[in-house]
Amino acid sequence: MMDAARERDRADPLREYRDRFALPDGVIYLDGNSLGALPKATAERMAGVVRGEWGEGLIRSWNPGENGGADWIGLPRRVGGRIARLVGAAPDTVVAADSTSVNLFKLIAAALAMRPGRKVVLSEPGNFPTDLYMIAGLEAQGLAERRLAPRDRLADALDGDVALLLLTHVHYKTGEVFDMAALTRAAHDAGALVLWDLSHSAGAIPVGLDASGADFAVGCGYKYLNGGPGAPAFAYVAQRHHAALEQPLTGWMGHAAPFAFSDDYAPAPGVGRLLCGTPPVLALAALEVGVDLVAEIGIDRLAAKSRALSEFFRDCLDGLGVALELASPADPMQRGSQLSFRHRQAYAICQALIARGVIGDFRDPDILRFGFAPAYVSFEDAARAARHLAEVLETGEWQREEFRERAAVT
Amino acid sequence: MMDAARERDRADPLREYRDRFALPDGVIYLDGNSLGALPKATAERMAGVVRGEWGEGLIRSWNPGENGGADWIGLPRRVGGRIARLVGAAPDTVVAADSTSVNLFKLIAAALAMRPGRKVVLSEPGNFPTDLYMIAGLEAQGLAERRLAPRDRLADALDGDVALLLLTHVHYKTGEVFDMAALTRAAHDAGALVLWDLSHSAGAIPVGLDASGADFAVGCGYKYLNGGPGAPAFAYVAQRHHAALEQPLTGWMGHAAPFAFSDDYAPAPGVGRLLCGTPPVLALAALEVGVDLVAEIGIDRLAAKSRALSEFFRDCLDGLGVALELASPADPMQRGSQLSFRHRQAYAICQALIARGVIGDFRDPDILRFGFAPAYVSFEDAARAARHLAEVLETGEWQREEFRERAAVT
**Euclidean distance between CA atoms A203 and A199, whole angstroms:** 9
B72 close contact with A: CB closer than 8 A: yes
pLDDT at B66: 62
Question: Percentage of residues in chain A with pLDDT exceeding 70?
Answer: 99
Q: Which residues contact A55 (CB under 8 A, 6 or more apart)?
A: B22, B23, B24, B37, B38, B43
Q: How confident is the model at residue A405 (pLDDT cuts 50, 70, 90)?
A: confident
DSSP assignment of B219-284: E-SSSTT---TT--EEEEE-GGGTTT---S---GGGBSSGGG--SS--BPSGGGGG--S---HHHH
pLDDT at B408: 79
A26 C-beta neighbours (distance < 10 Å), count: 7
Residue B175 Rama label (left phi>0; alpha psi -120 to 50; beta): left
Q: Determine the Cα–Cα distance for residues B125 and B119; give it in Å rounded to an integer.
A: 18
Q: Are A99 and B98 in contact (CB under 8 A)?
A: yes
Annotated binding site of A for pyridoxal 5'-phosphate: 100-101, 128-131, 168, 197, 200, 222, 252, 278
Maximum alpha-carbon separation in chain B: 69
Cβ separation of B141 and A141 shorter than 8 Å?
A: yes
CA contacts within 13 A on the Cβ side of A225: 35
Alpha carbons A293 and A301: distance in angstroms, whole number: 13
**Dist. CA B144–CA B138, nearest whole Å:** 5
Query: Given CB atoms, is B326 within the 8 Å cutoff of chain A?
Result: no
Instruction: Check for a shared fold between B2-30+298-403 and B46-296.
Output: no
Residue B265 CA to chain centroid, in angstroms? 31
The model's pLDDT over A307-328, given as tens digits with 9 standing for 90+, comes to 999 999 999 999 999 999 999 9
Nearest residue of B to residue A261 by CA position?
B129
Q: Which of B12, B31, B197, B361 is catalytic?
A: B197
**pLDDT value at position A191?**
98
A133 and B250 within 8 Å at the Cβ level: the answer is: yes
B243 touches chain A (CB under 8 A): no
Contact call for residues B201 and B172 (beta carbons, < 8 A): no
pLDDT tens track for A127-166: 999 999 999 999 999 999 999 999 999 999 999 999 999 9
Confidence of residue A184 (pLDDT cuts 50, 70, 90): very high
Distance CA A221, CA A217 (A): 13
**Using a CB-CB distance cutoff of 8 angstroms, which residues of chain A are in contact with residue B361?**
59
Asked if residue A238 has pLDDT above 70, the reply is: yes
Q: Do residues A200 and A221 touch, judged by C-beta distance below 8 A?
A: no
List all residues of chain B from 126 to 145 with a beta carbon under 8 Å from chain A: 126-130, 132-134, 136-138, 140-141, 143
Q: Which of B22, B246, B284 sits opposite A55 (nearest CB)?
A: B22
CB neighbour class for B304 (10 Å; exposed up to 12, middle 13-18, buried from 19): middle
Q: Which residues pair with A237 in a beta bridge?
A: A216
- Rounded to the nearest angstrom, the minimum Cα separation between A88 and chain B is 25
B230 vs A: CB within 8 A: yes
Inter-chain CB proximity A51 and B60 less than 8 Å: no
Facing residues of A358 across strands?
Answer: A28
Q: Does A373 touch chain B (CB under 8 A)?
A: no
Among the listed residues A226, A371, A373, A385, the one whose alpha carbon sits nearest the alpha carbon of residue A303? A373
Q: Are strands A338-342 and A358-359 parallel, antiparallel or unpaired?
A: unpaired
Rounded to an integer, what distance in angstroms lies between the CA atom of residue A69 and that of residue A58? Answer: 10
Distance CA A172, CA A197 (A): 10
CA distances in angstroms from A248 to A138, A181, B137, B246, listed in the order given: 11, 28, 4, 17
Give the whole-angstrom CA distance, residue A314 versus residue A297.
Answer: 25
Asked if the model's pLDDT at residue A331 lies above 80, the reply is yes
Report the amino acid identity of residue A377: V
The helix/strand/coil state of A281 is: helix
Catalytic annotation, residues of A: 128, 197, 222-223, 369
Are B318 and B326 in contact, with CB atoms under 8 Å apart? no
Q: Which CATH number fits domain A46-296: 3.10.580.10, 3.40.640.10, 3.40.50.1370, 3.40.50.1000?
A: 3.40.640.10
B19 at A interface, C-beta within 8 A: no
pLDDT of residue A317: 98
Cα–Cα distance measured from residue A252 to residue B372, given in angstroms and rounded to the nearest whole number:
25
Residues across chain B: 410
Q: How far is CA A318 from CA A175, A180, A360, B162, in A?
A: 20, 32, 19, 68
On whether the CB atoms of residues B214 and B194 are closer than 8 A, the answer is yes
CA distance A105 to A190: 22
- DSSP helix/strand/coil, B405: coil
Is B215 in the active site?
A: no
Residue among B130, B226, B288, B359 with most chain A CBs within 10 A, to mutate: B130
CA distance B267 to B246: 8
Helix locations, B249-378, DSSP H: 281-297, 299-319, 346-355
For the stretch B25-50, pLDDT in tens is 999 999 999 999 999 999 999 999 99
Residues of A in contact with B134 (CB under 8 A): 249-251
Among B17, B105, B128, B216, the active-site one is B128
Give yes or no for residue A66 having a pLDDT over 70.
no
Phi, psi of A82 (to 5 degrees): -75, -35
Helix (H, G, I), strand (E, B) or coil at A96: strand
Within 13 Å, how many C-alpha atoms sit on residue B130's CB side? 24
What residue of A is the nearest CA neighbor of B51? A43
The partner residue sitting opposite A137, judged by closest CB among B29, B140, B250, is B250
Do A359 and B58 count as a contact with CB atoms less than 8 A apart?
A: yes
Instruction: Compute the average pLDDT of residues A80-102.
Output: 98
Does the distance separating the beta carbons of A230 and B282 come in below 8 Å?
Answer: yes
The yes or no reply on domain B2-30+298-403 and CATH 3.40.50.2300 is no
Encoded amino acid at B112, one letter:
L
pLDDT digit string, tens, across residues A106-120 = 999 999 999 999 999
CB B358 within 8 A of CB B201: no
Sorted by sequence, the CB contacts under 8 Å of residue A19 that are 6+ apart come out as none
Supply the DSSP symbol for B38.
Answer: E
ipTM of the prediction greater than 0.95, yes or no: yes
Rounded to whole angstroms, the maximal C-alpha distance in chain A is 69
As a whole number of angstroms, the distance between CA B303 and CA A285 comes to: 33
Instruction: Mark the binding-site residues of A, compressed into ranges.
Output: 100-101, 128-131, 168, 197, 200, 222, 252, 278
pLDDT tens-digit map of A335-351: 999 999 999 999 999 99
For chain A, domain boundaries: 2-30+298-403, 46-296
Determine contact, residues B145/B121, Cβ cutoff 8 Å.
yes
A230/B280 CB distance under 8 A:
yes
Q: Beta strand B338-342 with B21-22: parallel, antiparallel or unpaired?
A: unpaired
**Which residues of chain A neighbour B129 with C-beta distances below 8 Å?**
252, 255, 258, 261-263
Average pLDDT for chain A: 96
d(CA A284, CA A375) in angstroms, rounded, equals: 21
B334 at interface of A, judged by CB pairs closer than 8 A: no
Contact A296, A86 (CB under 8 A): no
The conformation of residue A56, written as its DSSP 8-state character, comes to: I
Q: Are A327 and A367 in contact (CB under 8 A)?
A: yes
pLDDT at A255: 98
Parts of chain B with a pLDDT under 70: 66-68
Considering only CB atoms, A283 lies closest to which of B277, B280, B409, namely: B280
Length reported for chain A: 410
Least confident of A92-96, A246-250, A360-364, B388-392: A360-364
Predicted local confidence at residue B362, as pLDDT: 93
Q: What's the CA gap between A220 and B200, in Å, rounded?
A: 32
